[in-house]
Amino acid sequence: MHEIFLTATVQPENVETVRAILQGYCEGGERQRVTLVRHLHRRDESSGMIANIKGLPTIKELQKEKGPNTALWQELHQSLAKQSYILQTRYDVTEEFSNAQAGDPRAVGAAGKKPVVGTLRWNDQCDPPSNRYPPFVTQRRCLEIRDKNLELILAANKFTLKSESVEESCTWWCDGEEYSLVRYLTFSPELSATGEPQLQQTVPVWLLFIRMQVESNLERMQQAYATLSRIREKLFRVPQIQFKVFDRRAHDTRDIGAYRSSVVPA
């Protein structure tokens, strides 16, 4: 699959206006969600350097199970055999955060208590600019696996926790397009007066992603380019939505062992 998307920034004071605009544009209500995102990598226990592990060492066991995710694990194995990546595991913690806006500090700490079942997400490096698609479009291969044994499988393949973050989002769907208004938060190293974790915003603006997931073939991808181009042309007139083109390295999830300060969370 390929994820093809547009990116825009929205200033905090314009968020409510943009939400109203998108609700009317998509002719439907929004879904509000809070997601705990765990970033995982593989490191040598003694040196702390990138572990010399290719693919998924347990792939043969996963293939023997012949479960609904076998083909997806095989695809991930092939990608990891070529390059080390930082993976995401994503957990819906909306219910745990239900009291956050009411000022209950205990709701923040609930993010660390992840639900049992999560979704693994792998993003490839974004494709370089090309005259084959519009310059304001970003595209990359992606893969998602929802598995009740996700944590056990990743641990068996030597993935460990690198960091955690929280995403607060409002999402709309319309004709196969996803409109997601997101802000990114991290846990502050300082606890609150009650001893609970606190959240701080990573990026000073909200980000609007307008994206489509399509099969990785030319016809489907060209259809997505045309659709996103029409959407951009319509919403470009909205002054509260500022379309941006970020360097593809801002979305880079390859694990190259160097510190990388991304403008856009990958």
More confident site: 246 or 46: 246
**Does 95 have pLDDT greater than 90?**
no
Asked which of 32-41, 101-110, 144-153, 230-239 is least confident by mean pLDDT, the reply is 101-110
Return the structure tokens found at 122.
Answer: 């792998």
With respect to residue 192, please indicate whether it lies within any of the assigned structural domains.
yes
With respect to residue 261, please indicate whether it lies within any of the assigned structural domains.
no
**Mean pLDDT of all residues in 7-25:** 97
Q: What is the pLDDT of residue 227?
A: 97
Q: What is the pLDDT of residue 110?
A: 52
pLDDT by residue (tens digit) across 149-162? 999 999 999 999 99
Nearest CA to 171 among 9, 22, 17, 11? 22
Q: What percent of the chain has pLDDT over 70?
A: 87
Total tally of structural domains belonging to the chain = 1
Boundaries of domain holding 102? 2-251
* Full DSSP string of 168-220: EEEEEEETTEEEEEEEEEEE-SS--TTS---EEESSSSEEEEEEEEE-SSHHH
With respect to residue 245, please indicate whether it lies within any of the assigned structural domains.
yes
**Mean pLDDT of all residues in 13-18:** 98
**Does 103 have pLDDT greater than 60?**
no
Would you place residue 219 in the very low, low, confident or very high pLDDT band (cuts 50, 70, 90)? very high
* Full DSSP string of the chain: -EEEEEEEEE-GGGHHHHHHHHHHHHTS--EEEEEEEEEEE-B-TTT-SBP---S-TTHHHHHHHT-TTHHHHHHHHHHHHH--B-EEEEEE-TTTTTTGGGT-THHHHGGGS--S-EEEEEEPPPPPP-TTS-TT-EEEEEEEEEETTHHHHHHHTT-EEEEEEEEEEEEEEETTEEEEEEEEEEE-SS--TTS---EEESSSSEEEEEEEEE-SSHHHHHHHHHHHHHHHHHHTT-TT-EEE---GGGG--B--SS----SS--
Q: What is the pLDDT of residue 32?
A: 95
With respect to residue 33, please indicate whether it lies within any of the assigned structural domains.
yes
What's the CATH code of the domain at 137?
2.40.320.10
**Does 258 have pLDDT greater than 70?**
no
Would you place residue 89 in the very low, low, confident or very high pLDDT band (cuts 50, 70, 90)? very high
With respect to residue 262, please indicate whether it lies within any of the assigned structural domains.
no
Q: What is the pLDDT of residue 8?
A: 98
With respect to residue 166, please indicate whether it lies within any of the assigned structural domains.
yes
pLDDT mean across residues, the chain: 89
Would you place residue 260 in the very low, low, confident or very high pLDDT band (cuts 50, 70, 90)? very low
Contacts of 85 (CB under 8 A, 6+ apart): 79, 122, 123, 124, 253, 254, 255
With respect to residue 67, please indicate whether it lies within any of the assigned structural domains.
yes
With respect to residue 256, please indicate whether it lies within any of the assigned structural domains.
no
**Does 62 have pLDDT greater than 70?**
yes
